[in-house]
Amino acid sequence: MPVSQSKPCYLTVILLVIIIIASAFAVYYYWFELITVAQQWQRYFHQQLVQFLLRTKQAPWDTGWLLVCFSLLYGILHSAGPGHGKVIITTYLATQKRHFKKCLLITVLSAILQGIVAIALITILLMMLNLSTKYLTIGEYQLERASYLVIMFVGVFLCYKAIKKLVQQLFSRHHSKITINSINPLQSAEHQHQLNCDCCGHQHIPAATDIEHKKGWLGDLGIILAIGIRPCSGALLMLIFAYTLGVYHWGIIATLAMSIGTALTTSLIALLVYHARKLAEQLVKHKQRSLVSELIPVVTHSLALIGGIVFVIMGLVLCLGMSHTYVPLGNPLLMR
């Protein structure tokens, strides 16, 4: 008699749900204490970065690499705190089906882009244009607003794709359709071709997963831009001090190390979200009834629609919050 695997799977899911609810309640209950501790640690790390920069000015080759290592640690710990980047990553990967390698690629590229944008902002405004830090604040504001607008546009794009697939799925259930179960290359008497043929050295037929994953490149690019074009405040602070002290090249290296640390933490978060989604998909696959199998695509597209709506609301709220907290002074290139 075959042993049923559904009961252990259900127990695992129930245990995970209990852990998630307990963690959410603990975060909600101790929210202000967590924010206070995070601010204290961030202030401490900023002070240590300044101290390392001062020592680097005095002994560049002796202390510079310590600055780089500390910046890597700062990136790992700083990215573990609250922030809109983690919300974007978790929401996107939880509601949009993506390959594991593409999940890691999104997190790494978005983190590296954050460091590159910070370096470009300081280099252009302070070094090339020789503007004051007031214009740096304006530039940071404009990039932050652009990031929130990109979040909204990505949300609209994801909603459009989800609604389109939902309509197709719902209407296709009422009409007969031709289902292609498999595609095989033409066979000959001398040789039989396979999907990946060693004799020819190329792939005759693209895999279904390759076609599906290539369709979502525009959403992936939007997520990378939404996270990456908003520079990290710690990186900007370090670059400003490095430029002031005359060790700007060490500030650039440390900023890239900070981006690598951020990529490590966000990749770990992406790994957890990816496996949580895979666990949910495996749980659903245990249901072999026809009704459940028909509802799986509907539920998947509905989750994608919810993710798009969350992005639209998030971007709108953040943009409205910015308009009440800061008023831009104008175009820095036109002000002297």
Residues 81-136 pLDDT 10s: 667 777 788 888 877 777 888 888 999 999 999 999 999 999 998 888 887 777 87
Q: Which residues contact 331 (CB under 8 A, 6 or more apart)?
A: none
Give the span between the Cα atoms of 64 and 7, in whole angstroms.
56
Low-confidence ranges of the chain (pLDDT < 70): 1-13, 16-17, 20, 27, 81-82, 172-216, 283-297, 322-336
Token pair listed for 243: 């430029």
Which pLDDT score, from 0 to 100, does residue 334 have?
A: 36
Which pLDDT score, from 0 to 100, does residue 180 have?
A: 56
Beta-bridge mates of residue 192? 187
Question: What are the Cα distances from residue 90, in Å, to 19, 74, 229?
Answer: 17, 21, 18
Give which of 335, 329, 336, 333 is closest to 125, Cα–Cα: 333
| Residue ranges of domains in the chain | 7-173+208-334
Write down the pTM of the prediction.
Answer: 0.72
Strands (E), 8-127: none
Token pair listed for 64: 């510079």
Long-range contacts of 190-196 (CB under 8 A, 24+ apart): none
Residues 144-174 pLDDT 10s: 888 888 888 888 888 888 888 888 777 765 5
